[in-house]
Structure 1
Amino acid sequence: MSKTQQIVQLLVTCMIDAIAPNIGMSVKNILNRHQCEVQFQNSQTCCGQPAFNAGFIKQARTMARHTIDVFSKTTGPVVIPSGSCTDMIVHQYPEILKHDPIYKTKAEQLSKRTFEFTQFLVDYLKVEDVGAHYTGCAAYHPCCHGLRNLNIKRQPSILLNNTQSLKQVELDCAEECCGFGGLFSINMNKISESMLNKKMSHVIDSGANVLIANDLGCIIHMQGGLRRKGINIKVKHIAEIIDDCN
């Protein structure tokens, strides 16, 4: 490792690890190109967000303590290609462990060194142009946790604006939820379906041939909605878009 390299811990999320590892590889590629040594802790597991959202706080605390134990042994920022998992560590860990005499301070320390992927690039590394080139007509959907809890809005916009050959179109009601919400899409499936259909109508009307987001759960939810309608619009993670430097 050269003196100019920044050690970065990649918390890849369980969904990306199990369903779309190519997103994790894109994140690694981009960070490597910007003088980061990306380290991956094999002992990392789910951050506990699904349990937390379902009301299983005791189980969420157990998973939070494990994640804290894993990353407390490491150095450098923790980077996550997901706004929802980032929010879990940044905001929910300190809250659910605030009465734990051992883990309260550890949770606060991990919170301060944890960043969503685009947030890390733009705000921490001060990188606004990664040299990306992507030919397509794109609309961007800001996922709820990143937008509302982490204020992730300008960072993806900056990175996409600096992507050569990418034509961007406005998405009506872009900041409205796609209807995923984890268990919400199962427990409240009729409401979720209605929200998804509204979002898909706006996507189709935009004229985009690719929809970009930064949370895999939302990406899968929206891709499924488009596929069921027989609409050939790809839904991609922003890391996949800006990793294309050809």
Structure 2
Amino acid sequence: MPHVGLFVTCLVDFLRPSVGFAAVKLLEDAGCTVDVPQGQVCCGQPAYNSGNSDGARRIAEQVIEAFSGLDYVVGPSGSCIAMIRKEYPEMFKHDPVWHSRAVALAARSFELMSFLSDVLAVRPTPVRFDATATYHDSCSGLRTLGIKEQPRALLSHVDGLTLSEMSDTETCCGFGGTFCVKYPDISTKMVSDKIANLEITGADTVLGGDLGCLLNIAGRLRRLGRSTRVFHAAEVLAGMADRAGIGESERR
């Protein structure tokens, strides 16, 4: 029975805890023992991307310590897991001790959809979600971790769900972490283009695997007065998407 540490992520912790609970359910249904280490913190990506290398390394050290001794580290975010898998070893390349620990952590760290599909090869517990949905591919998950078919394969087992692919699904939604703060006008144009493409599909729901992207899309949808629902794929797969979608509480 795999012993898995759940990397919750900052956005899930503060803004959409149901994604974390859904991840736990999916992992436990797949036969895993799940821990949520209390010592975990941010993956360090905002500091790293802003040039604060020393701060990012200190954060990374705490994450490495928090998840030591576990078989796997799994997170519902391609962005955060890409940071752990790809950037941690690079950050410590001149420190033999920490580099070794970073490489070891990277090797056993996986994004949730990839872990369920590629490592455990599970067939999800049957659930129903009546919707026509389109799926947004997030940049880090797609380009850094190769996550494309895994969520679609898992979602194909959901009763009542029809997936309708949009044009340019692989194009960035404009979130990009600090990008949307530094370049708000460009970000708004990018997410507006994304929404135009998703509306052409006739979908009433948007699904994805990175909460940052989903919050960005949901926020723009609400400002445009659209009723399209937005969920993390884990919420649908766990049968926990019958509540308010991402961003709907803000609209009310």
Q: TM class, shorter-chain normalised?
A: over 0.9
Number of paired residues?
Answer: 241
Query: Retained in 2: the 8 A contact 1:143–1:213?
Result: yes
Q: Is 1:239 matched with 2:248?
A: no
Name the counterpart of 1:148.
Answer: 143
Query: Retained in 2: the 8 A contact 1:130–1:159?
Result: no
Query: Retained in 2: the 8 A contact 1:139–1:170?
Result: yes
TM-aligned CA deviation for residue 158 of structure 1: 0.4
TM-aligned CA deviation for residue 102 of structure 1: 2.1
TM-aligned CA deviation for residue 171 of structure 1: 0.8
Separation in 1, partners of 2:71, 2:23: 16
Match of 1:99 among 76, 94, 111: 94
Match of 2:71 among 57, 69, 76: 76
Which AA in structure 2 matches 1:30? Answer: L
Query: Retained in 1: the 8 A contact 2:39–2:62?
Result: no
Separation in 2, partners of 1:174, 1:116: 19
Structure 1 moving runs of 4+ over 4 Å: none
Query: Retained in 1: the 8 A contact 2:38–2:66?
Result: no
TM-aligned CA deviation for residue 130 of structure 1: 3.3
Q: Is 1:57 matched with 2:57?
A: no
Separation in 2, partners of 1:115, 1:132: 24
Residue identity over aligned pairs, in percent, reads 39
Name the counterpart of 1:26.
Answer: 22
TM-aligned CA deviation for residue 182 of structure 1: 0.6
Which AA in structure 2 matches 1:63? Answer: I
TM-aligned CA deviation for residue 190 of structure 1: 1.0
TM-aligned CA deviation for residue 129 of structure 1: 3.5
Name the counterpart of 1:179.
Answer: 174
Q: Where in structure 2 are the equivalents of 1:115-154 lying within 5 Å? A: 115-154=110-149
Query: Retained in 2: the 8 A contact 1:219–1:236?
Result: yes
Which AA in structure 1 matches 2:5? Answer: Q
TM-score by length of 1: 0.95
Name the counterpart of 2:152.
Answer: 157
Separation in 2, partners of 1:234, 1:25: 19
Separation in 1, partners of 2:183, 2:22: 33
Find the residue that maps to 1:103 and give its secondary structure.
helix
Q: Where in structure 2 are the equivalents of 1:37-52 lying within 5 Å? A: 37-52=33-48
Name the counterpart of 1:204.
Answer: 199
TM-score by length of 2: 0.93
Find the residue that maps to 1:220 and give its secondary structure.
helix
Q: Deviations over 1:94-125 (max 9, x none)?
A: 00111113201000000000000000000110
Alpha carbon RMSD of aligned pairs, Å?
1.2
Query: Retained in 2: the 8 A contact 1:184–1:192?
Result: yes
Extract unaligned runs of 5+ from structure 2: 243-252
Which AA in structure 1 matches 2:18? Answer: N
Query: Retained in 1: the 8 A contact 2:74–2:111?
Result: yes
Query: Retained in 2: the 8 A contact 1:139–1:206?
Result: yes
Q: Is 1:189 matched with 2:179?
A: no
Separation in 2, partners of 1:239, 1:233: 18
TM-aligned CA deviation for residue 128 of structure 1: 3.7
Find the residue that maps to 1:171 and give its secondary structure.
coil
